[in-house]
Amino acid sequence: MILIIKGRGISPGKGGGPLLVSPVPISFLSGVDPESGIIVETGHPLRGECMAGKVLVFPYGKGSTVGSYVLYALSRNGHAPAAIINAEAEPIIATGAIIGEIPLIDRIDLPFDRLQNGTWVTVDGSTGEMAYEGTPV
- Residues annotated as catalytic (active site), given as ranges: 64
In the DSSP assignment, the letter for residue 53 is T
Strands (E), the chain: 2-6, 8-11, 14-21, 26-27, 55-58, 61-62, 83-86, 104-106, 120-124, 129-133
| Length in residues, the chain | 137
Q: How many helices (H) and strands (E) does the chain have?
A: 2, 10
